[in-house]
A and B are shown apart, each in its own frame.
Chain A
């Protein structure tokens, strides 16, 4: 049987209704997707069936996971956060500026930590050899960036608006335009890999990956805000996206939580 968008739409709706019912029955809000989310078929054989073992970090301040690997100026170059300058020519597409703050659950800035991003080009094609979408590659765009957050937790990238792309999970499956982000905190427990989306993308309802975040408010936290003050005159459109890392860190011990 060919898997259609209609099939996936129905599965997404059923998962969403099941979540709403859980919350209505008193279950906690789920800020994170469940690893077992069948509308995204690749999750089916790749999620554990046993519950995780919970570790209370306040019991032992010496846990390895309460500290984080360090990154510094040696690990990046000056143009790593400008994805439009990594080749001899100008990439094709709409230039954008993406900026925001990296915070912990208490709203404290995470300073001097590594942010890595990767994305498709303006035609929706990744510079990855296994990519099958026959949109054109851009010889002037690799779509990979890195930066370190500043003393207030700010980061900034200059890049090209990525295009949406088809991904063959089901007939006419399209991913909304997004930028992948990889983030470190002050503790390895705060490690996060996620995706940033753009406002009002018409593909959101059809995409089982963004819909794997079944809580409506949590899903909105993946969508950047257009910010005219970040737009650079005669150059780029500005988007603001703050990131809050989940997971406990060492300050939780100091506060006795």
Chain B
């Protein structure tokens, strides 16, 4: 069902590169996002195959994520969701198939190259930089930091610019912490955070890279209901600000209640796509995913 859509949308996506020459990184995430126009297809996965030895984890998956959408990717355990994620973000190199981000082929690029293009991810099991403070975790993320050059960091004349930029980044980090309501943890070592706080930190850190598309790998796993509410609330708010999300979950209800577009994977390929209601009533999905008798 997805095969006929790419051609139709390619034309629309042609307009999106214009939105990619974003001005400065100084703007707050909200202002920044407001400049984006919610059209086009930033992410397109085409015939993705990934084999590990004799095991085919992903077998010809094709789908796309529309600009400004909150797209859900679901499937039973072993359906190939995480492998698909890892292929998109460059952790694994696909055996076959292509991945396009903003109409550019990013297949086989390294994770850092993909992240720099504006496609950033979070991890299923939150991976904090434990011996760094929460604030340092956030300040690590922004792109284009002058002080990442060792020479600029130490040379007396050049360090001034680095300090100025650091002040801006620090301010942005504080704003982001405010947004996720974890500002009281700023000077805490990330290793001391609870599981739910780590999930918040991880999402905050991803946003600090100024992404266009955020891949969330089970952001709600192991999170208590109150915090779950809070996280979902933030995701919706950010989406309204123009961010695009691809959300992997295996909790069907969360996906159905929050995502306007749902992709179902089963045995390495896309079984069905559509709105929550369409998926809920799709017999194949019911059979594969929910078991026959609901």
Partners in one complex: no
Chain A residues with CB under 8 Å of chain B are none
